[in-house]
A and B are shown apart, each in its own frame.
Chain A
Amino acid sequence: MDVSQAKQEHLLALKVMRLTKPTLFTNLPVTCEDRDLPGDLFDQLMREDPSTIKGAEALMLGEMLTLPQNFGNIFLGETFSSYISVHNDSIQVVKDILVKADLQTSSQRLNLSASNSAVAELQPESCIDDVIHHEVKEIGTHILVCAVSYTTQYGEKLYFRKFFKFQVLKPLDVKTKFYNAETDEVFLEAQIQNITTSPMFMEKVSLEPSMMYNVTELNTVAGGDEGESTFGKMSYLQPMDTRQYLYCLKPKPEYAEKAGVIKGVTVIGKLDIVWKTNLGERGRLQTSQLQRMAPGYGDIRLSLEMIPDTVNLEEPFDIICKITNCSERTMDLELEMMNTRSIHWCGVSGRQLGKLSPGAFLSLPLILLSSVQGLQSISGLRLTDTFLKRTYEYDDIAQVCVVCPYTNNEC
């Protein structure tokens, strides 16, 4: 359709402008000294410039607000605001004007108009104004569809639409990593990268734990009364900068008991991120539920309840193992102890530990000695389930430091 022709036909004009935050005008200070050729001319010009800071003209960042000059970028989690103006360009009064603004995303169509009632009449040179806001919740193409219908003074019904397309981009890249501590604590390390093109002030990055966990944020430096952020005084992220946040999750007591037998995926919680950019332009995102695979204990979990950190060479020492049946069936266990080059087990290998029902555990004191100095790894435990004839091997269970008590005499 011929656009120019279309324009002539319509009495109303629809204009749309995205309202990003205004920007502060910056001026360019060029100064000279009294003795220079222009004398105080340059300084005087700068003093007369309304956009300079009086008394500190060399300060570049002024106070004058300027309207956004282009659409800019819009990111997921930010609020899309737009001014919609319908102006009567004609010389006649127009009646029953209905302005409808819809936002079409890849999955849905939303109505953004503040009111859906028609305006009874619009005088020439008058406007209908609307400022719409929408928090952007999807990535990708969005189309703002503005439809205007009205009646001319001759009773003619007219209708036109305009489409404005924009892309919503992803502002952040979030990567997570879990560390499982022996104590059933879980440490979550989250890397948050600013993939926009402007600096971003991280107002809030918090972990909302699921019901099973309590969370401690580890992002402040202990010390002072308030605790300084590990990121320093200025909490902003330059484009493409990445920042690492650390959280410690402890299972709540009522769940802690069961932690030993919890298998599979557990929901840890989600990260809630609030950021701000130019003059407080705000954005907020949450990650999906972070899921963590409980450490793979297999059918039987063997953990250490007690072990010395330093032992003497060739001197027996005690450790206490905890054996938990993580499977769904009862096991009949037999313990084998295999010596390694440095670790020698004391006691009988191949003894029966008896039946262990699902979820049950037993504590097993063992004695061993090391024949080699240094940091030694405790290996060589074998548990065999005699029902299924399945053997579970446990190597590198823990490490002890073996020292020679006679060092002083010998050298």
Chain B
Amino acid sequence: MRITCISVSAVRSSKMDSEEAPAQRPVSLEITVEDVTTEAPGPDPPKLTISQTPPRENLLPQVESIDLGGEFSTPQEDSSATPSESLMDKLNDQMMESVLISDSPNNSEEDDDVAPMDSFLDAVEEEEDHFHETSVDKEEQSEIGQNTTEIEVTVEEQEKDSSVEKVDEETREQTLDTEEQVISCVSLQVDEHSPSDPNSGEPSLLEAQETKVFSVPVCTIFSHGTHPKSLVPDGFQPTLIKSPSFSMGSGVETSEAVTPSKLMAPLVCQPSPSLSKFFNDNGHVNPASDFFDSFTVPSSFISVSNPNADIPPGATPASIAPTPEHQLSSTSSSISNPGGALDSGAPTPSSVFAPSESTAKAQPPPSQEAPAQAPAPAPQPQPFNTLQAVFSGSDDPFATALSLSEVDRRHDSWLPSGETRKVLISVASQQYSPAYVETTRLTMPGLKFDNLQGDAVKDLMLRFLGEAAAMKRQVLTANSVEQSFTGLKRLISSKNWRAAVDLTGRLLTAHGQGYGKAGQQSSHTTDSLQLWFVRLSLLTKLNLFQNAELEIEPFGNLDQPDLFYEYYPTVYPGRRGSMVPFSMRLLHAELPQYLAKPQEALDRLHNLKTVCLAILENLEKGLAEDGSMITLTQENRQGSLKLWRSRLSRVMYSMANCLLLMKDYVLAVETYHSIIQYEPQQRVQLLSGIGRIFLQIGDVKTAERYFQDVEKACQMTGSQPSHTTCVLMNRAFVSLSQNNYTEAHASFTEVLKIDPKNPVANNNAAVCLLYLGCLKESLGQLEGLVQQDPALYLHESVLFNLTTMYELESSRSTQKKQALLEAVACREGDSFNTQCLKLV
């Protein structure tokens, strides 16, 4: 340990000398150091202490007196970095070396060294090294430092004589070279002076720096050898790592030494590789990321790797005509306020839509006849109609009403918290009217934004294709459909989710929960909550997570008493359970994971799981879902068990997805695996999915084991084409992970023989072609697909791949992208994620 100090300080003093006289004195000094140290181990162990202490004490003061300037005496030193940068770079380089030297049992000192450097280095990402050969490049570097992505140095038109050409260039380079020298000289001086501040402040930093300059292997080895006690606790030695095939011997090697520096920013919740942008956008992108030509410039299109980006492609815009069932439920739907007596702020039914209708097109929604619900006779009209839709075969209204209540109970069951239950019981037993429940226990939602969502595709068309082309785009808007659930469904199925969000906003406004109404009392109906659910789902699908979070916030944890039917004994007599649909609870639980709060999402999902399990337990014990002693018919019980098992598995899926986002692969795999018991028919998909998770981590062997299980499972169930596809697909992914793109391409092609329209195999085969160096073929394949079958291939992942290849192919990618935009404009709704076109 102490010997270490000697060598370090000796180096340091020699360093100072070299500053004054650049002669090679350091060498001789080093030799003396060696002498000292070789003597040192000589004496008996007990005497070691005595003989070695003095030099250390002598030398320590020197640390402070060192002028950092010496550091930068090499003319090769990079000149483009700012002084502070280069200082830090130096530190970065040298720290590795210094650690090696001071590597010693006395770890405390080492720690001292490290701590300040770490803080220093945190900011340092880019490390500029000296370039011996390419002085021309140096000029580039300085530019590059300012984030320019690409530098075209010289576009030289040479004389026609080709023999002159080379010479010419040489000379040119040389002139550049000399220019460079001048620049570096100037900046060298800057370097020499400015770093003195940190210097005086942090002697330990200096120590680190100094040693690098004399990164003589002798030092390293020696210091290793000099500490006699290798059993000292925590005496870990940083170890040089290098690429196996790297040839040793040059001084540059020092830069490979290991440092304890933490160049990386603190650990952030990192989702799976492909999701990495999700939680941590631009966390630590390699500075080089803005390189690689204009086209690899980090695109603002994040959604490809982004689970948010879920825009199913090319559904037929003609969409699904509402089924009779839908129509029924929509005609019966009510947006009036059943609690009208309590809610003075609610608009009267007759004026429901008046304020929001601006177009003549607007049709009075059928639901305006809704007040029928308020008086609420025993079999309510609305459930009755729904019932008719569901059980349209039945002709006995009474029997259907009975079975309806069964279905209601099954779906609406929920286990509220103790406190909420108390309130509900007291409401039911008419101890007090709901009006007296404290407002803090009430749910008072309202729209948080009232601006229209717009149509990004049209905006892009205006920008790139001109007004005329933009005018041609025809999409449904909130105004062009019925102001009802039917219209809403049309918008959703035609993928005009932004317009659908607008429409939910109108309908909710009509219900008294419009913009600015948050925090004001209003009451809830089945329909109002369904509207909220649809709105929040769409916001989530559109990746507008912040908006969704804002609007779901007034709902709290969905446990307020006014979200239960028991709270409205007059409106929903005899009906029990949660008005909040289960899917909304799930959405509420999942939402935080998209906002970098996966822990909160997990908590909520665990709560849901607990309730699901409790209800299943109740059912298995012969009780009703909520634990009451109602006797259920066998058929009903089975129905309930089936429903709640599927809900449980859906919650488990969400948990596993959330864990995957958190990159907690162990738990994610475990959870996916446990879903198999609830959804045995999804065994093949789940096992394949787990295999892909292992491939994502890089564990190809374990992935192969899972894929083998998949093949076994497929054999057991007999040959289904989907299973053969799955097996081939898995093989392709394994080949891909073994860097065998040819084989991977062959497997994807094999899939296409069975299922020629498989969009995944088509896309993946094209991707493999690119890695095989066949850009044109790859492009041709993808382009063909998009043209032939836009319904399947106008998917953002395919389009992203296509535009990426356009960019790689030619300088005229913008035109080709605009052609894609036109194709998109003809087919896609306003929810299309335009970022994948990379036009902006």
Contacts and interface: CB of A to CB of B under 8 A. Distances in A.
Contacts of B820: none
A141 B140 CA distance: 12
Interface in A77-128: 77, 83, 85, 87, 89, 104, 106-107, 109, 125-127
B566 interface: no
Given A166-B286, A201-B697, A71 B296 contact: yes
Contacts of B270: 197-199, 238-239
Residue of B169, B308, B312, B722 with most partner-chain A CB within 10 A: B312
Contacts of A198: 270, 273, 276
B310 A27 contact: yes
Interface stretch (B58-66, B232-240, B340-348, B595-603): B232-240
List 5 tightest A-B contacts by C-beta distance, closest first: A166-B288, A276-B698, A280-B737, A49-B312, A23-B274
Interface stretch (A50-58, A212-220, A335-343): A50-58
Contacts of A386: none
A37 B241 CA distance: 60
A226 to B, nearest CB: 13
Given A45-B493, A61-B272, A278-B273, A36 B243 contact: no
Given A26-B275, A170-B258, A295-B228, A165 B141 contact: yes
A327 to B, nearest CB: 9
A138 B255 contact: yes
Contact of A33 (B296, B581, B682, B729): B581
Contacts of B763: 50, 64-65
A195 B684 CA distance: 36
A104 B467 CA distance: 49
Interface in B78-96: none
Contact of B692 (A28, A61, A139, A179): A61
Q: How large is the interface on B (under 10, 10 to 19, 20 to 34, 35 or more residues)?
A: 35 or more
B833 to A, nearest CB: 11
Interface stretch (B151-159, B206-214, B363-371): B151-159
Contacts of A9: 155, 157
A66 B797 contact: yes
B464 interface: no
B315 interface: yes
A411 interface: no
Interface residues of A, number: 159
Contact of B800 (A26, A31, A66, A136): A66
A129 B305 contact: no
27 contacts: A1-B152, A21-B736, A23-B305, A26-B272, A27-B307, A29-B657, A31-B650, A37-B533, A45-B315, A50-B312, A67-B805, A159-B155, A164-B288, A175-B236, A199-B697, A236-B665, A236-B698, A276-B699, A279-B696, A282-B698, A285-B242, A287-B240, A287-B241, A288-B239, A290-B239, A296-B41, A296-B229
Contacts of A365: none
A279 B129 contact: no
A52 B733 CA distance: 16
Given A9-B155, A71-B289, A17 B295 contact: yes
A173 B238 contact: yes
Contacts of B144: 163, 165
A208 to B, nearest CB: 10
B101 interface: no
Contacts, number: 550
Interface string A144-179: 010000000001111111111111011011111111
A344 interface: no
Nearest to A89: B811
A10 to B, nearest CB: 7
Contacts of B739: 280, 282
Interface stretch (B469-477, B623-631, B766-774): B766-774
A350 interface: no
B417 interface: no
B139 to A, nearest CB: 10
B663 interface: yes
Interface stretch (A248-256, A315-323, A372-380, A390-398): A390-398
Contact of B669 (A77, A234, A275): A234
Given A42-B537, A234-B699, A159 B156 contact: yes
A24 interface: yes
A182 B660 CA distance: 48
A69 B581 contact: no
Interface string B313-340: 1110000100101100100000000000
A361 to B, nearest CB: 18
B151 A162 contact: yes
A264 to B, nearest CB: 6
Contact of A72 (B224, B289, B795, B811): B289
B810 interface: yes
B785 to A, nearest CB: 10
Contact of B298 (A70, A109, A195, A201): A70
A324 interface: no
Given A238-B267, A277-B697, A280-B700, 17 more contacts: A1-B153, A17-B292, A18-B296, A22-B771, A31-B650, A32-B537, A41-B493, A56-B686, A60-B661, A69-B301, A139-B127, A157-B162, A160-B152, A170-B263, A201-B698, A276-B737, A279-B695
Interface string A284-314: 1111101111011011000000000000000
A127 B298 contact: no
A289 B374 CA distance: 84
B150 interface: yes
Contact of B795 (A49, A156, A167): A49
Residue of B137, B323, B586, B686 with most partner-chain A CB within 10 A: B137
Contact of A176 (B129, B236, B326): B236
Contacts of A235: 699
Given A26-B307, A157-B158, A279-B736, A49 B283 contact: no
Contacts of B696: 24, 61, 278-279
A286 B243 contact: yes
Contact of B264 (A196, A199, A278): A196
A287 B242 contact: yes
B255 A291 contact: no
Contact of A69 (B284, B305, B697): B305
B573 interface: no
A165 B736 contact: no
B274 A71 contact: no
A29 B653 contact: yes
Contacts of B159: 157
B451 interface: no
A191 B236 contact: yes
A354 interface: no
Interface stretch (B115-123, B190-198, B484-492): B484-492
Nearest to B267: A240
A172 B809 contact: no
A197 B315 contact: no
A55 B241 contact: no
Given A159-B158, A174-B258, A236-B699, A48 B131 contact: no
A111 B171 CA distance: 22
